[in-house]
Chain A
């Protein structure tokens, strides 16, 4: 198993839902309990339908590493409405999918505690975050790779469908 993978635990879980639920619970417990874990996140910057202060912080940190500012062009996920897009996409999903997404975000945040790295994802340094996300991208656990891939696809779709990005990639946009 690659570092950061949850293959052994996945074998114990019958379904996607129980796998994510079990691991998210374990990760929060390893952190020290829910009351400590869920505190101290910034307030929401805007009114959102799905995200809470905690999950907003987690997906913002994720999106920021997937699509960082600089490089080929200046804009990054946080200068585009990627997080709001993520919120809208998930808010349109049925209840049980929203619950899965919420738990998957919690697992992303507290997953390091299961690897005995005592720092939650949102509080890691950028290089640590990238290394941690690489363990998700390359994990031997299918669902861990899947969660990474789903979150990444939503962020990319929100980012590159924004008209603010079109000129940077040479796309001349919808005909008018």
Chain B
């Protein structure tokens, strides 16, 4: 049952075997697995429920309804998070990328992670992929923006491929980031959450968890607020007592809740070690009309410059085709005044390449006086270097595909018409608030590890110090888990559910 504020007239009190905070990639998986195993499940989701009839393909409406946008404390990085039932899968580009084997090996070697070998994880990836109905995008499905990336990188001899995604019978309308209006994208709203509901799970929407409490070393209660859907102000209190509590509120909010709760942070690392996978954009003008917003928006990637090894995991950068609606595209346009309008007037002739950079932990989440998260991030020199290299390679690819001019996402316009002008990138450097840097894949603030002194949760994602409290989302990644978090986090969530069920007597006693 989905419970919304309209049906709530006073304080809410629930008792369950499992309380899950968050309904996204991880929360939905745990909810389904635990409910189907016969456990009573309550899910608290801060966002609202949006389904096919709500997806009106208007970015203004959908951004306001289903996203949370935040800036870093120095305003240099824009973070996009889902804020809706079903979480990130409802509004992402549907890319499904497994964690490279070397990352698991690195985690074992450097962080002492147990029982997470590629062979062990393979079955969980298989399961998640089957539920998501993942399939590889066909070459014939590439839209013209992604075709530009493929043609350009192929002509330079660079490695690349089409993505695996969770789409079925896609009509290629291009509105994936605003909720799929055709239910082609196989989001958590179409598989995991309906299964959880059918098995008896209770889902509270507009229900924000504020604190997790412990008693005798065990997590036992979640307290929070039922929010007015319009004003987002508190309209009732909610309390859930549970034998197992799963924090799956994403990298920013899971850290926030742990810090506000003042539990599970004996290492002092809750909120630390933030990775953001910084993205920037490189766009170009072509003589021919591309209409890059039509078709599958993000379908091809070039991973020629992506490296992975067992010492540091993923590093370097990758290029991805990515285009979207006019409002969001305009936010990466340089300059202001008539020049900005002139550039946007050529929207149909633009191509855009996303530069996704793999970073090392360089940030943190702390709390302000209101208990709300403050994100700080100081980009490392190596990350700046990789970003400049990525911008350079993106420009080369775009010119190789026939671009007339290439434009970087600097605030002060940087437009080049020839590769000989690329040295401008080193001259400009990567200065905070001087160019667009966005993040969609935040990770690391509740790092897992074998050593309680250097991590927040153990190899099975249970708090080192508060029993029966699990953190299951991208925040547990000690290094970047994949170029796209969703599938990896789902596989890890399947594993954690499996672990809890296998050890049911430890967590639930003999009552279940």
Interface residues of A (CB under 8 A from B): 15-16, 65-68, 70-73, 85, 88-89, 92, 94-96, 130, 133, 137-138, 142-143, 145-150, 152-153, 156-162, 165-166, 168-172, 174-175
Contacts and interface: CB of A to CB of B under 8 A. Distances in A.
A66 B59 CA distance: 21
A150 B336 CA distance: 13
Nearest to B326: A160
Interface string B403-444: 000000001100000000000000000011110000000000
A165 B326 contact: yes
A149 B327 contact: no
B348 interface: yes
B338 A72 contact: yes
A169 B348 contact: yes
B411 A73 contact: no
Interface in B279-326: 289, 291, 293, 325-326
Q: Which of B327, B328, B345, B348 has the most CB of A within 10 A?
A: B327
Contacts of A158: 60, 327
A80 to B, nearest CB: 11
Contact of A71 (B75, B331, B342, B433): B342
9 contacts: A147-B75, A150-B75, A153-B331, A156-B330, A157-B63, A158-B327, A162-B60, A170-B345, A171-B348
B76 A137 contact: no
B76 A146 contact: yes
B58 A96 contact: no
Contact of B327 (A73, A161, A168): A161
Contacts of B64: 88-89, 92
B74 A94 contact: no
Contact of B232 (A92, A150, A161): A92
Chain B's interface: helix, strand, loop or mixed, by majority? Answer: loop
Q: How large is the interface on B (under 10, 10 to 19, 20 to 34, 35 or more residues)?
A: 35 or more
Which of A67, A73, A169, A172 is packed against the most chain B CB atoms within 10 Å? A169
A70 B369 CA distance: 45
Contacts of B63: 157
A16 B340 contact: no
* A-B interface, 8 closest residue pairs, ranked by CB to CB distance from nearest: A146-B75, A161-B327, A174-B57, A71-B338, A145-B433, A72-B345, A146-B433, A160-B330
A137 B338 CA distance: 16
A148 B57 contact: no
Contacts of A130: 337
Contact of B347 (A67, A147, A169): A169
B3 interface: no
Nearest to A81: B60
B338 A15 contact: no
A110 B338 CA distance: 25
Contact of A137 (B173, B329, B411): B411
Given A145-B433, A165-B326, A73 B341 contact: yes
B429 to A, nearest CB: 13
A68 B328 contact: no
B58 A150 contact: no
B372 interface: yes
A96 B370 contact: yes
Contacts of B344: 72, 160, 169
Given A166-B326, A169-B344, A15 B370 contact: no
Contact of B337 (A15, A66, A157): A66
A73 B60 contact: no
